Copies of this chain bind each other. A is one copy, B any other.
Amino acid sequence: MTGRAVVLLSGGMDSATCLALAVRRDGLEAWALSFDYGQRHRAELQAAATVAAVLGARGHRTLALGLGALGGSALTDSTIPVPEAPAAGIPVTYVPARNTVFLALALAWAEVLDADFIYAGVNAVDYSGYPDCRPEYIGAFQAMANLATRRGVEGHPVSIRTPLIALSKAAIIREGLALGVDYRLTVSCYQADGAGAACGRCDACRLRRAGFEAAGVADATRYRIAPS
């Protein structure tokens, strides 16, 4: 397979795995896209730049996005505490319409690059509380994208790929390790410190650690405190 892909790259495990799939499994020329949207820490963006370089992305852009101005999420609004215990329903760490915003910007870049694919590390298994991680949502975004763009009008729409959507965290980790992903370079924690060390207590840390355990491999995450 040849072609060009825009890969959404957060600096976390899932998007790093997606980038490895695009480059190493699917043989695509990958352009990685990250967002500086008012995350509480910068370690995630530094991790994204490192991962893009190590996995051989052709280019990497970090787009500034003032989502904090809209409020409403513990991830961008410093007045909302990050929870340290699981809760029912849609979590407060949900950034409203985040996947729609990120996919829309990936679509814009895909048009500029004349890319054939967008890769997004959307996952419906471990993050079932988020409405915009479901396969039916991705299908509806694809249908919209087909009508939104120059490529769509011209009959060769950008194809949205979500290769992780039905995988468990453990299966994602095994897939990535088989492709040589170094997960020590990635940051998952919602409240990592400046050096990328994880809190070990937030939902993202919990899911990550459980994933390593289920995959039966050592958790190389750097924690700033011993995990509870």
Interface residues of A (CB under 8 A from B): 61-67, 69-72, 90, 94-101, 103-105, 107-109, 111-112, 131-132, 134, 136-137, 140-141, 143-150, 152-153
Given A70-B109, A96-B150, A143-B143, 15 other A-B residues pairs in contact with their CB atoms under 8 A:
A61-B69, A64-B64, A64-B69, A65-B66, A71-B112, A72-B108, A96-B111, A96-B112, A97-B104, A100-B145, A100-B148, A101-B108, A104-B104, A131-B152, A140-B144
In the complex, what residues of B have CB within 8 A of residue A94's CB? 150
Whether A108 contacts B112 by the Cβ 8 Å rule is no
Cα A153 to Cα B128 in complex, Å, equals 12
Q: Which residue of B lies closest to A142 (CB)?
A: B144
Whether A148 contacts B97 by the Cβ 8 Å rule is yes
Task: Name the prevailing secondary structure of the A interface residues.
Answer: helix
Number of copies: 2
10 A–B pairs (Cβ distance < 8 Å), ordered by A:
A64-B69, A96-B149, A97-B111, A97-B148, A100-B144, A100-B145, A101-B108, A132-B147, A137-B147, A140-B140
Q: Which residue of B lies closest to A67 (CB)?
A: B108
Whether A137 contacts B131 by the Cβ 8 Å rule is no
In the complex, what residues of B have CB within 8 A of residue A71's CB? 112
- Decide yes or no: A108 and B98 within 8 Å by CB, A65-B64, A137-B148, A144-B144 being known contacts: yes
In the complex, what residues of B have CB within 8 A of residue A61's CB? 69-70
In the complex, what residues of B have CB within 8 A of residue A108's CB? 67, 70, 72, 95-98, 100-101
Whether B105 contacts A101 by the Cβ 8 Å rule is yes
In the complex, what residues of B have CB within 8 A of residue A65's CB? 63-66
In the complex, what residues of B have CB within 8 A of residue A69's CB? 61-64
Cα A224 to Cα B27 in complex, Å, equals 53
Whether B104 contacts A101 by the Cβ 8 Å rule is yes
Which residue, A72, A107, A148, A150, has most C-beta atoms of chain B within 10 A? A148
Q: Which residue of B lies closest to A133 (CB)?
A: B148
Cα A183 to Cα B200 in complex, Å, equals 56
